[in-house]
């Protein structure tokens, strides 16, 4: 992070974005058709429900990592999940400026029996969030391997964030 600016990409792109520019560059949060709230805010904590790699109303990637989904594609899916998380926080938790810091990220990876790189899949989301949010994007994390995830998604990410002010 330099001079209050945030990097726009995890490939060390020299272009830097402010939080406002980052918010405008995020995709629209993908809605759910199921019976839950994508974000719940309690006092100054936001809980973002599990985000799967959805784009334009459908899954960007589907299947098991290690067979139908490559490691490279799983990392891309993980980053999409992280982008969706920020899009939901921007819309439902008072904007990106209201994020004091990320507290926790849980990453679930649906994979074949022989696939062992689930931490690398989670790193794509973690590094993206740290890249765009700087120090406040650092978080504790768990990575969990799974036999399957909702809608045949290869990756699901849930995040807990501390907020500067309550939006209740």
Cα angle 84, 87, 91 (rounded to 5 degrees) comes to: 140
pLDDT, residue 62, reads 98
- DSSP class of residue 16 equals E
Domains of the chain listed by start with CATH number: 18-23+37-163 (3.30.1330.40)
Q: Write down the pLDDT at residue 20.
A: 80
DSSP per position, 145-166: EES--GGG-SEEEEEEEEESS-
The bridge status of strand 45-51 relative to strand 155-163 is: antiparallel
Q: Looking at the whole model, is its pTM more than 0.85?
A: yes
The pLDDT of residue 14: 34
Dihedral pair phi/psi, residue 69, rounded to 5°: -125, 125
| Span 26-35, pLDDT tens digits | 989 999 999 9
Could you tell me where the DSSP H helices lie in 5-154?
19-25, 71-92, 118-133
Half-sphere exposure of 165 (CA within 13 A, CB side): 5
pLDDT digits (tens, 9 = 90+) for 92-149: 999 999 999 999 999 999 999 999 999 999 999 999 999 999 999 999 999 999 999 9
Per-residue b or e along 27-41, where b marks 16 or more CB atoms closer than 10 Å to that residue's CB:
eebbeeeeeeebbeb
């Amino acid at each position: 992070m330099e001079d209050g600016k945030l990097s726009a990409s995890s490939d060390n792109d020299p272009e830097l974005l402010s939080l406002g520019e980052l918010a405008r560059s995020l995709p629209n949060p993908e809605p759910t058709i199921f019976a839950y709230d994508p974000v719940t805010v309690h006092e100054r904590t936001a809980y973002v429900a599990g985000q799967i790699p959805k784009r334009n109303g459908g899954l960007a990637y589907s299947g098991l990592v290690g067979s139908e989904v490559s490691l490279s594609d799983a990392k891309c899916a993980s980053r999409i999940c992280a982008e969706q998380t920020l899009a939901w926080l921007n819309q439902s938790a008072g904007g990106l400026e209201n994020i004091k810091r990320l507290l926790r990220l849980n990453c679930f990876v649906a994979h074949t029996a022989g696939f062992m790189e689930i931490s690398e899949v989670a790193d794509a989301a973690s590094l993206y969030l740290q890249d765009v949010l700087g120090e406040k994007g650092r978080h504790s994390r768990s990575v969990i391997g799974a036999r399957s995830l909702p809608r045949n998604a290869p990756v699901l990410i849930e995040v807990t964030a501390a907020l500067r002010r309550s939006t209740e």
